[in-house]
Chains A and B, each alone.
Chain A
Amino acid sequence: MNPEAEIRRKKLTRFLCQELLYEFANGGLTSAREKEMREYIEGCRDSQREFEKLKRGHDYSMRASGARMSPALGEALLNFEPQWQKQLRIWTLWSSQRGWKMLPYLVLALTMVAGLVVFKPWQKVEQTDVILAEQMRVEPDMFAPAPAASSDLAVDAPPQPAKEGPDTSALVAGLPKGNAPPAPAPLPAAARAAPTTAAAKTAEISEDAKAAAPGTSRGFIMRGELEVSDFANTWPMVRDKIIALGGKVAGNVELGWLRRPGQSYFHFAVPEANYPELELFLRTFGPVRFGKEKHPRVMPAGQIRIILLVKDSVTDESPPDTP
């Protein structure tokens, strides 16, 4: 249905009358509607006032349309020439009058040579970015890292069976002392040559690492186990606490993945500052054992990566499975 036809059929109200005033003034309505409008306006003071306003506005805009651009402005707009173009034209004219027709080309050639000498584009070195941490599709954390002796930046080291270290004291204390977290490996010479921000950060971290733990390299991961008596209620609480502490899932499975009855698997990254609070919370459910393992994955500064297995102390018997 045509909306205009629908409007035409509608009963005339004050609102509708005022909305149709412009069409009425322009003669854009049907004769029946126009007659209806005229009758309505005669009986409605508001509509009369609005109609008067519209007529005044129309008269004013008609007067304004009589504004004229001065000839000087027209000339200025039509014959406008940018300043640089004007200068170039004057200069070209000046040089050609003196018979120095080659002068502009000479200046252009000299400018290009000067640009080449200053910027030396042939000396540009390809820059390489160093990625500090990245998410891998395959879960590397279920394997122990490659031997720490290698100093290259290859992050996907050959996997080895998982080990659990009993080094909890340094972790609870916030990671300093002799067993401080290993920092990323020093950059190779090619990467150091590139003055990128990432490279600068990595270099800074490696210097810290030399000061704190001279023999270490690469990242680390925390692996822990918690045996609880009320498994069904505990693992959701652990999951919520991890999220509340800013933990973010780091592996391929969701936080608290029930990999078998009575076992819940948490693989996540959490701000290092929140680690003591997390451990304190876990201790309220039972004895918790955390070990630190070397790992090829270097986490960004202030973040640690944790794998936590919550087990039901009653049903737990079988060896762990990996996702």
Chain B
Amino acid sequence: MDRSPATDVVVETAAKYFYFSSLSEQSSFAASLKALSDLKHNGWLGPEHKARWIQTLSKWKPRLRNLRSKAWVASSKEAGFLLPPDLDINVWMTFLANGEPSEVEAVLLSKILGFSDDDIAEGLGVTAGTVRYRIGRGLRHLGGYLES
């Protein structure tokens, strides 16, 4: 893949999306490869195709658990995610396990990956109002897990 700032953004977005969807670095690596391959094949790597990014990422998400990459073994020692020190990842794990999937998805896309409500709405095929509703409820639930 040709390296450019736009490519770096899409690579990081895909990797973070799958990592926060599974919390498994190996699965997220394999799924990112598949999604990036799809995006490249369709010519959707540019930032003007953000709704397509969301579509493609959502398409690969259900298959996350079954994906393993042999290439991961070689690079697993140094490759991974650098999490902020004050981030308790267990809270996200609880949210992922117990939260409503559509709300988790909305919070992840909007707040963690920084997609606009309109891009998310187009990518997921719902209205912007529905996206905001899901984000609001998702954040309240996430806050509830932090409280407990």
Q: Which listed residue, B12, B78, B112, B141, touches A64 by the CB 8 Å rule?
A: B112
Does A50 sit at the interface, judged by CB under 8 A? yes
CA distance in complex: A211, B109 (Å): 73
Q: Are A61 and B142 in contact (CB-based, < 8 A)?
A: yes
A73: nearest residue on chain B (CB-CB)?
B79
The smallest C-beta distance from A24 to any residue of chain B, in angstroms, reads: 9
Q: Are B142 and A60 in contact (CB-based, < 8 A)?
A: yes
A67 with B141: in contact, given A56-B146, A57-B107, A77-B32 (CB under 8 Å)? Answer: no
A interface footprint on B52-88 (CB within 8 Å = 1, 0 otherwise): 0000000000000000001100010011111110110
B interface footprint on A91-104 (CB within 8 Å = 1, 0 otherwise): 00000000000000
Q: Which listed residue, B75, B78, B92, B140, touches A53 by the CB 8 Å rule?
A: B140
Q: Are A52 and B1 in contact (CB-based, < 8 A)?
A: no
The smallest C-beta distance from B11 to any residue of chain A, in angstroms, reads: 5
CA distance in complex: A105, B65 (Å): 39
B interface footprint on A1-40 (CB within 8 Å = 1, 0 otherwise): 0001000000000000011011100001000000000000
**What range describes how many residues of A lie at the interface?**
35 or more
The tally of residues in B whose CB lies under 8 Å from a CB in A reads: 49
Does A68 sit at the interface, judged by CB under 8 A? yes
Please name all residues of chain A whose beta carbon is closer than 8 Å to the beta carbon of B112 when the two chains form the complex: 61, 64-65, 67
Q: Which listed residue, B71, B92, B135, B136, touches A19 by the CB 8 Å rule?
A: B136
Does A233 sit at the interface, judged by CB under 8 A? no
B interface footprint on A62-99 (CB within 8 Å = 1, 0 otherwise): 11111111101110111110010000000000000000
A67 with B87: in contact, given A19-B136, A22-B136, A60-B146 (CB under 8 Å)? Answer: yes
CA distance in complex: A67, B20 (Å): 10
Q: Are A63 and B16 in contact (CB-based, < 8 A)?
A: no
Main secondary structure of the interface of A (DSSP, over half): helix
A69 with B16: in contact, given A57-B143, A58-B111, A79-B1 (CB under 8 Å)? Answer: yes
CA distance in complex: A83, B73 (Å): 13
Q: Are B15 and A73 in contact (CB-based, < 8 A)?
A: yes
A57 with B87: in contact, given A69-B16, A74-B11, A74-B12 (CB under 8 Å)? Answer: no
Please name all residues of chain A whose beta carbon is closer than 8 Å to the beta carbon of B144 when the two chains form the complex: 53, 57
Please name all residues of chain B whose beta carbon is closer than 8 Å to the beta carbon of A63 when the two chains form the complex: 84, 86-87
Q: Are B70 and A70 in contact (CB-based, < 8 A)?
A: no
Q: Which listed residue, B7, B20, B80, B141, touches A70 by the CB 8 Å rule?
A: B80
Q: Which listed residue, A57, A70, A74, touches B139 by the CB 8 Å rule?
A: A57
A66 with B143: in contact, given A60-B91, A72-B79, A76-B75 (CB under 8 Å)? Answer: no
Does B33 sit at the interface, judged by CB under 8 A? yes
Does A55 sit at the interface, judged by CB under 8 A? yes
CA distance in complex: A68, B12 (Å): 8
Please name all residues of chain B whose beta carbon is closer than 8 Å to the beta carbon of A19 when the two chains form the complex: 133, 136
Does A153 sit at the interface, judged by CB under 8 A? no
Q: Which listed residue, A52, A67, A78, touches B3 by the CB 8 Å rule?
A: A78
CA distance in complex: A58, B139 (Å): 6
Known: A57-B143, A67-B83, A77-B29. 8 other contacts (CB 8 A): A19-B133, A22-B136, A50-B140, A54-B139, A63-B84, A72-B79, A78-B3, A78-B11
| Residues in chain B within 8 A of chain A (CB atoms) | 1, 3, 7-8, 11-12, 14-16, 19-20, 25, 29, 32-33, 36, 70-71, 75, 78-84, 86-87, 91-92, 107, 111-114, 129, 132-133, 135-136, 138-144, 146-147
| 14 A-B pairs with C-beta separation under 8 A | A23-B136, A57-B141, A60-B143, A61-B142, A62-B111, A67-B16, A68-B12, A68-B82, A69-B81, A73-B15, A73-B25, A74-B11, A74-B12, A77-B11
